[in-house]
């Protein structure tokens, strides 16, 4: 497929780049969140907990770069999306940030004192810093799929009509639990690769088996809801792909099953949900066979497939409105100017490869299994 660098082409490129950044965050920081979520369950002694923590310890700070890049890209490339999402998800974002703050503090402070109560408190802080963002991110995606209650006035001021508790519905909670199970699977897969064989390794494999099965089940149920449930929106009026961003010109209607239509029109898109289910199944088999690389590759494929499925199913919608469909944000009506997108693209083409190379180098240098012996002999470990 040829994509030109005209305004429409740049919008598609930045829609794809936004997906790449979100996938990068889910892949790298995903196993950090997963390890935090699993910490109370895979490790029982202080040494075991230190082993699990130090699997993520050397790289968690660098992994958060993807989160910052994703937020920055949304702010610069999709300012209307940024405005609406931070209005509608304000309390949810605050909850996520508060939980994420616990993680660096927990890493740095946990081993400062030998007091078991002190360390246990920070272990639970790390658990909260893992499970809360995982859950809220999934709930947020569920709300995006079903539409957010917002609208624009004639001056393009965004008005949010919902509430914090309104974000939690059966479907969005399903998406939230799916997100937690996906991160738990990814975290357990990473633990099996990074830990020496022993009790923590075995518990991670056991829990990962359940997480893989739950991830597959919830992803399939979510797909069935998208296929037969009251989800989806269709654009009914003319589409201007290269005009100035103005959501008030959109003409659309709610349409059950619309989120599956792209897959029918473009069969190659089926690769995403197949990768989501197949990756989780591969991780499950890898757990059973004790094939650690296969397990991590499967959990990574499942993460890529699940995140990609959401983006591909909704295109060209980014944030549909459930209360005023004409205020919905799409790839064609919510972006920055052409010059801004082009300038940012040039900067991305320069700096993103540097980030990828540096990240690869860091993982290569810091690779190796965490062992019981290293906990006693290496003073640099948490």
Q: Assign 4 a pLDDT band (cuts: 50, 70, 90).
A: low
> What's the rounded mean pLDDT across residues 46-64?
88
Which has more pLDDT, 16 or 85?
A: 16
> What's the rounded mean pLDDT across residues 285-308?
96
pLDDT at residue 329 is higher than 70: yes
pLDDT at residue 318 is higher than 90: yes
pLDDT at residue 26 is higher than 80: yes
Cis bond leading into 316, ω under 30°? yes
pLDDT at residue 380 is higher than 80: no
What pLDDT does 33 receive? 94
Q: How much of the chain, in percent, has pLDDT values that exceed 90?
A: 62
Q: Assign 14 a pLDDT band (cuts: 50, 70, 90).
A: very high
Tens of pLDDT along 249-287?
Answer: 888 888 888 999 999 999 999 999 999 999 999 999 999
What pLDDT does 2 receive? 53
User: How far is 282 from 297, CA to CA, in rounded Å?
Assistant: 8
Which has more pLDDT, 168 or 237?
A: 168
Q: Assign 93 a pLDDT band (cuts: 50, 70, 90).
A: confident
Domain-wise residue ranges, the chain: 7-377
- Average pLDDT of the chain is 91
């Amino acid at each position: 497929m040829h994509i030109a660098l005209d305004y429409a082409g740049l919008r598609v490129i930045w829609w794809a780049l936004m997906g790449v950044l979100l996938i990068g965050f889910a892949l790298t920081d995903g196993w950090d969140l997963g390890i935090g979520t699993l910490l109370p369950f895979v490790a029982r002694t202080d040494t075991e907990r230190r082993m699990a923590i130090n699997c993520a310890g050397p790289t968690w700070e660098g992994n958060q770069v993807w989160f910052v890049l994703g937020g920055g890209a949304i702010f610069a490339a999709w300012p209307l999306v940024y405005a609406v999402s931070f209005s509608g998800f304000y309390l949810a974002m605050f909850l996520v940030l508060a939980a994420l703050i616990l993680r660096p503090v927990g890493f740095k402070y946990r081993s400062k004192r030998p007091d078991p109560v002190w360390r246990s408190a920070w272990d639970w802080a790390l658990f909260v810093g893992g499970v809360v963002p995982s859950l809220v991110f999934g709930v947020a995606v569920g709300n995006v799929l079903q539409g957010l209650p917002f609208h624009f006035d004639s001056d393009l001021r965004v008005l949010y009509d919902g509430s914090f508790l309104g974000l939690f519905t059966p479907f969005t909670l399903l998406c939230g639990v799916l997100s937690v199970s996906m991160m738990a699977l990814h975290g357990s897969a990473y633990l099996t690769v990074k830990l020496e064989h022993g009790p923590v390794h075995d518990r991670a494999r056991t829990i990962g088996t359940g997480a893989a099965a739950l991830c597959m089940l919830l992803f399939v149920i979510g797909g069935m809801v998208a296929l037969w449930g009251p989800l989806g929106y269709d654009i009914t009026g003319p589409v201007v792909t290269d005009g100035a961003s103005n959501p008030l010109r959109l003409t659309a209607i709610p349409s059950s099953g619309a989120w599956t239509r792209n897959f029918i029109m473009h069969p190659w898109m089926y690769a995403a949900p197949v990768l989501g289910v197949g990756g989780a199944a591969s991780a499950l088999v890898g757990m059973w066979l004790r094939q650690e690389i296969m397990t991590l590759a499967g959990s990574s494929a499942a993460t890529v497939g699940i995140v990609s499925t959401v983006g591909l199913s909704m295109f060209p919608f980014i944030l549909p409105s459930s209360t005023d469909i004409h205020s919905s944000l799409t790839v064609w009506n919510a972006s920055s100017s052409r010059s801004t997108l082009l300038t940012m693209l040039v900067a991305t083409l320069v700096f993103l490869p540097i980030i990828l190379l540096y990240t690869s180098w860091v993982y290569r240098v810091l690779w190796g299994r965490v062992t019981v012996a290293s906990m006693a002999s290496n003073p640099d470990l948490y």
